Chain A
Amino acid sequence: MTAFRAMLIRELHLALRGGGDMLTLVLFFVIVGAIVPFAVGPDRELLARIAPGVVWIAAFLAMLLGLDRLFRPDHEDGSLILLRQAELPLSAVVAAKLIVHWAVSALPLIVASPFVAMLLAMDVATFWRTLLSLLLGTPALAAFGAVGAAVTVSIRRGGLIAPILIAPLSIPVLIFGTGSITATQSGAALLFLAALSLMATALSPFAAALAISSGED
């Protein structure tokens, strides 16, 4: 347990001292949200209608953008090889990384989402549902992302290919995420979303660890 805690603390330190990646992601998220009115016109009704989808797409893209720093720095400086020989199992290492990754990339987006919601003329009730769906859905996005990052970690220019692999797999998250905001069966969608997140976060550390140990050197 101390090893797991040490892993968490290390990841947190690295993320917080990592030169403002967190801020960049939040900015990206807000900018994607802010760009949409320029593309579709400042019609408040239309914006309010597409706002949940826009927030989800922006969050989805921002999460994809942050994937590359999950394993690549550790791969490049040789830490990943040593972590494979740690007393802490590699799946636990991945789980710790996943938790911190979610905390430093998804949580700031959720915190910033009121701002985007305001820009997109979202009403308050929809906003709370959006917040809830982001809270429930982003763990699944992070988990799928971890798998994608693990699969591509040993590819030299793997940063570009991970989003391509992950996007199709993340479609259910997107469907249930936006479905839980707008759809008539939003309760069911919310439950599916939670189930998806639980399953993805439970399984992805093992899958990612397997991918790392079979591909990395």
Chain B
Amino acid sequence: MTSRQVFPPLSLRATGLVCGRGGMALTRELTVSVASGHCLLLRGPNGAGKTTLLLTLAGVIPPLAGGFALEAADTELQNLHYCGHRNAIKPRLSVLENLDFWRAVNGGTGEPVEAALDEVGLAALANLDAGYLSAGQTRRLALARLLVSHRPLWLLDEPTAALDIEGHDLVTRLLDRHLDMGGFAIAATHDPITLPDPARMETLVLGARTAGASS
């Protein structure tokens, strides 16, 4: 697993971006820029709009104001992985079938399924129905989805939720390798994520304006 530059240099630039739901603004005007090899950590109290910002960047929710663009991206391709609270794992399919499906549907540009399962520590459970996995194991399977198709931008919403200590290390390791490959990521998290190279991390604190109101 030698890390190499897989992705062309890219950057995400948002200017004056206001995110919200149902016409209600949740964030202030954000001006954000993340480039290849960097990870932006979103922090802030519950209700500060972290998930909403990620969903907006994923193109699921329209922004209330402002805009954002993936610069120098090939718009023919899907450029991002969104990994949300819900794992999108079907309990009635086996671990292998779940991952196989997402690899086929997302374009199998990444690692083979077996390698990805090995990476997240689920290789021994490949033929088990995903319904028998624990919450943490299901999360690991969801993370394996990021590996089987290469996409430059990862949008992670609480990637370490339900994971044990070793799982936290796993997230850090995967993230670090992704940045090595020239990818970049935006992660909302309450847990501390420390990459080996702190220069690659930036932090954006959300909810400063309504910090008191949303507690």
Do the two chains touch directly in the complex (Cβ atoms below 8 Å apart)? yes
Per the bound structure, the CA–CA distance linking A114 and B106 in Å amounts to: 43
Asked whether any CB of chain A lies closer than 8 Å to the CB of B124, the reply is no
Asked whether any CB of chain A lies closer than 8 Å to the CB of B105, the reply is yes
Decide if B101 touches A6 in the complex (CB within 8 Å): yes
Decide if A78 touches B104 in the complex (CB within 8 Å): no
Per the bound structure, the CA–CA distance linking A217 and B19 in Å amounts to: 14
Contact pick for A18, options B21, B80, B85, B92, CB 8 Å: B92
Contact pick for B97, options A3, A10, A18, A84, CB 8 Å: A10
Residues in B whose Cβ lies below 8 Å from that of A86: 78, 105-106
Interface string of B99-128 (1 = CB under 8 A from A): 011101111000000000000000000000
Interface string of A63-96 (1 = CB under 8 A from B): 0000000000010111101111111100001000
Residues in B whose Cβ lies below 8 Å from that of A88: 105
Asked whether any CB of chain B lies closer than 8 Å to the CB of A7, the reply is yes
Chain B interface bracket (under 10, 10 to 19, 20 to 34, 35 or more): 20 to 34
Residues in A whose Cβ lies below 8 Å from that of B21: 217
Measured CB to CB, the nearest residue on chain A to B149 is: A87
Decide if B88 touches A78 in the complex (CB within 8 Å): yes
Decide if A82 touches B88 in the complex (CB within 8 Å): yes
Per the bound structure, the CA–CA distance linking A158 and B59 in Å amounts to: 24
Contact pick for A2, options B81, B87, B93, B104, CB 8 Å: B104
Decide if A13 touches B92 in the complex (CB within 8 Å): yes
Measured CB to CB, the nearest residue on chain A to B104 is: A6
Per the bound structure, the CA–CA distance linking A87 and B81 in Å amounts to: 11
Decide if B101 touches A10 in the complex (CB within 8 Å): yes
B positions within 8 Å CB-CB of A? 21, 55, 58-61, 77-78, 80-82, 84-90, 92-93, 97, 100-102, 104-107, 145, 149
Extra 7 A-B pairs, beta carbons < 8 Å, given A13-B97, A78-B85, A86-B106: A5-B104, A6-B105, A76-B86, A77-B87, A81-B82, A86-B105, A216-B60
Task: Provide 10 A-B residue pairs closer than 8 Å at the C-beta atoms, listed in order of the A residue.
Answer: A6-B105, A7-B101, A10-B101, A77-B86, A78-B87, A78-B88, A81-B60, A83-B105, A87-B149, A217-B60
